[in-house]
Chain A
């Protein structure tokens, strides 16, 4: 850990941009002073392990509410790692209802696994009649943004602050009980799909307004549209159901003087033209198993920044720190020239990633990123 601290101190003495300026410069597709680093999501068990490894001593924790201790710890880890952006979500009021079941404030029930994201296990909405009193936007409260407000107040001047904004597609399949149900309804009940997409898009708009008011710099919008071999649904379906809503959201974000990055795992080559047309400022994570970052940059680099690409499916899980460092250097060499690249994992630092490997990744970024 001493070597990481030395590298960070050296970096701070030499260069003039602060972390926020660096990140936003890269997101605007320009050359910053060095390659910025961020992470879409670091799971809580990993944050706690990182805190131990980084020897973070909690002092004077405010404990203003139950979760604040964790939010402050998260902030301490971000600072110690010197990430250029901090990405934090607003609350969905998620509560555990049993050992392996959870529920959010919208009444959606999830299965829990120690290996990854909670996934819906039963539908909250099954028919048009169920939409009668289903209004997600109306259930958002300022209290849901308390942790994010703390993050922005703590970091807003020095580091870029981003908020994940679930794609209406993702919120819709969560509400229907699973992606398969949504995809079947594309064909058998298009009206239900459109009405629910409208509800989830209005929810997204409300979340944008509240985050912009707090001073958010940018959003990142998770919602997987592809697997490794191709799209989950056709381009025609994207243009029909989702593209107009994406345009609404992107325009709304830009009116709020913020930026927005679209996230999707998988091979999304067929969608890149659509996303450039819609106006997304960036694309995450360029999954290395199926998308070559050099080719993607050559194709979209003038219109979208790239964020991601360090493999978290195998490398950060099963690789060695040396392999991680080598990959970081190789990726920076290929993706950084010309600016418009922000390094991160190829999805998130999920519970199966080795904390030592993530530390090696961050250390390597600080070591190799002065390429401009």
Chain B
């Protein structure tokens, strides 16, 4: 059983997207538990990917293919999960703010959060204040993630936080911010709950914010 877990884990780390589905099916057929595969192989693999990224050994291509592999493996297990097993650790709504079309950083955060067992709902780019607020009301996520790559679109983040307060939903959601011109000081000044300098740190922050 450990051997199967290790094989799946290493296949995710190494981006074996063509082999992963068969490996997961074989493991299930041989009696390896769903949660073992998810926690000890798939999510553990993405934690290792994050560590290698932080250490400068993995870069964006390796992260993307590992995430793709993990998602394919998870796709075999998900239909088998019921009740509590099927629930994600938390839901994060994420988007790039109005006027900003940059998405790669946001996408990496969403990918790594899903790799860590969260459900990420990606609203895309150039998202208005009103759209964020409405979606928060519709989905009730635990976390809102905001991305901006331009100094001139950063102010949108404060507008969104203020709008959440005005709509009476600010207390129900933790707000995380990120992007090249954003830093921890800015996050604090605008009343955000967390800041991540990259996708790996975003996952740590998300876990901290909801106690996952």
Chain A residues within 8 Å of B, Cβ to Cβ: 100, 111, 113-116, 119, 121, 178-180, 183-184, 186-188, 227-234, 237, 313-314, 317-318, 352
Are A313's CB and B151's CB within 8 A?
yes
Does B158 lie at the interface of the complex (its beta carbon under 8 Å from any beta carbon of A)? no
Knowing A187-B15, A313-B181 touch, does A180 contact B104 (C-beta < 8 A)? yes
**B residues near A314, Cβ cutoff 8 Å:** 151, 181
Hey, which bits of chain B sit against chain A, CB under 8 A?
15, 17, 56, 59-62, 64-65, 68, 99-105, 107, 125-126, 150-153, 180-181, 197-198
* Chain A neighbourhood of B64, CB < 8 A: 180, 183-184, 187
Q: Can you name the residue of chain A whose Cβ is closest to the Cβ of B198?
A: A229
Q: A115–B153 contact, CB under 8 A?
A: yes
Contact yes or no, A113 B152, CB < 8 A: no
Q: In whole angstroms, how far apart are the Cα atoms of A2 and B125 in the complex?
A: 44
Known interface pairs A119-B101, A188-B17, A229-B197; A183-B60 also in contact (CB < 8 Å): yes
Of B65, B99, B180, which is in contact with the most chain A CB atoms at under 10 Å from its CB? B180
A315, chain B: closest CB distance, angstroms = 10
A interface: dominant SS: mixed
A178→B103 contact, CB < 8 A: yes
Nearest CB of chain A from residue B172's CB, rounded to whole Å: 31
Cβ of B180 and Cβ of A188 under 8 Å apart? no
A180-B107, A188-B17, A229-B198 known; A111-B125 Cβ under 8 A: yes
CB-nearest residue of chain A to B197: A229
Closest Cβ of chain B to A355, distance in Å, is: 14
Contact of A188 among B60, B65, B102, B103 (CB under 8 A): B65
Not counting A183-B60, A227-B105, a sample of 8 additional A-B residue pairs whose C-beta atoms are within 8 angstroms of each other reads A100-B126, A111-B125, A113-B101, A116-B150, A178-B103, A187-B62, A232-B59, A233-B59
Q: Is A113 in contact with B99, judged by CB distance below 8 angstroms?
A: yes
A237 and B99 contacting across the interface, CB-CB below 8 Å:
no
